[in-house]
Amino acid sequence: MILPGWLDFEIAENSVQEYLLVLLSIVFLFLLRRFFSVILSRILYRLIARRGHSDAVKTFITLLSKPLQWLITLVVIYFSITRLDIPQAWGIADTTRPGLLMLLQRCFEISLIVCITFFCLRLIDFFALEWMRKEEAKTEGLFDKQIFPFLKELIKIFLVILSFFFSLGFVFGLNIANLIAGLGLGGLAFALAAKESLENLFASFTIFLDKPFVVGDLIRVKEITGTIEKVGFRSTRIRTLEKSFVTLPNKMLIDNPLDNLSQRNFRRADFKLALVYGTPKDKLETFTALIRDLLDDHPLCNKEERMVRFAEFGDYAYVIRVLFYIETHDFLEFMRVMEEINLRIFELAATAGVQFAYPTQTLLAGSAEGDDRNK
């Protein structure tokens, strides 16, 4: 096949054909890079896992396709452009001497390291997700849910630091050993500046070792009550009962009294019922007996620790105190049982023929002189 003569026409010491090849390479890159990234993701998954369910494959492709797209884009653009010759008349130094080409070469190397690091970080996320998925069925899964995210973040931080030092050595030719030794001189100053962060870091290790709580536990610390969602290096994330998202420093959780509400077997219910004055004694006794039977028959009420007593003569009513324990640590379940018991007590009051009282006050009008005349 004979190419048209205009393709051999040179512009800046490069033929039109070479410019077209570079342009077509870049166009096809942006059109097909997602397709190639998916294909490469599937190949890599087969090399790593060999076997796997469809959800794992889908997760792997979702996590790895984006860094692979950036990696493919970077490599194709670099090798496409390097096909072109730079005219000597421009006087641009090569990549071995300081100048524009050296700067572009360094930018490419740094970008390549960033893409590979991004790829490795996503790979760590995939392995962590798969490990968590396998551990969810185990009885100790709550602790796994807490330790795995922590270890994952620790490995990712180590990888980023390693990539940073590798960039300094590979791209800029620095002596990494001397650099690390030099960092030791400023270690004390850094430790003093990051005192609070280090305290929270050590507090996170204390949480993992002592295990005062795990992910999913309901805790109360100071005025905050909520469910643990994540324990990080510096802080712990809590979803409150109002569904707001609170982040607490780990040091605060260690230094302050912490009540793990999930560790208790029961939730206490304690309230008072007021009956109008004038309620007959037999109806009062019948009503208290019916409440005791109600608590004894309920499957979630503790039979050994419950109290229903005529407690006192109040300012405006007879007062019955009701105290019992519900066998659940779930707040929503506790409220469901409380509603059920309260509605039954409402029905029992009608059965016993008693009426609930509300605050009342009797005022006597008159004067002392009028009372003396009547006498």
> Is the separation of the CB atoms in 262 and 216 below 8 Å?
yes
Q: Residues 229-271: pLDDT tens digits?
A: 888 778 888 998 888 888 888 888 888 888 888 777 788 899 9
Question: Angle 306-218-247 (CA atoms, 0-180°, nearest 5)?
Answer: 150
Question: 308-333 b/e with 16+ CB inside 10 Å = b?
Answer: bebeeeeeebbbbebbbbbebbeeee
Which residues of the chain are modeled with pLDDT < 50?
A: 1-2, 139, 185, 188, 192, 375
Sheet with 301-313, strands from edge to edge, namely 267-276, 317-326, 301-313
CATH number of 267-352: 3.30.70.100
In the block, tokens 């409440």 appear at 291
Residues 49, 64: Cα–Cα separation, whole Å? 14
> Is the separation of the CB atoms in 95 and 102 below 8 Å?
yes
Among residues 277, 280, 288, 271, the alpha carbon closest in space to that of 318 is found at 277
Q: Where are the domains of the chain?
A: 5-182, 190-262, 267-352
- Output the pLDDT for position 188: 46
> Is the separation of the CB atoms in 299 and 333 below 8 Å?
no
Residues 355, 102: Cα–Cα separation, whole Å? 92
- Output the pLDDT for position 135: 66
- Output the pLDDT for position 2: 47
- Output the pLDDT for position 371: 53
Please state which of the four CATH numbers 1.10.260.40, 3.40.50.970, 1.10.760.10, 2.30.30.60 is assigned to the domain occupying 190-262.
2.30.30.60
Residue 328 has phi, psi (to 5 degrees) of -165, 150
- Output the pLDDT for position 318: 94
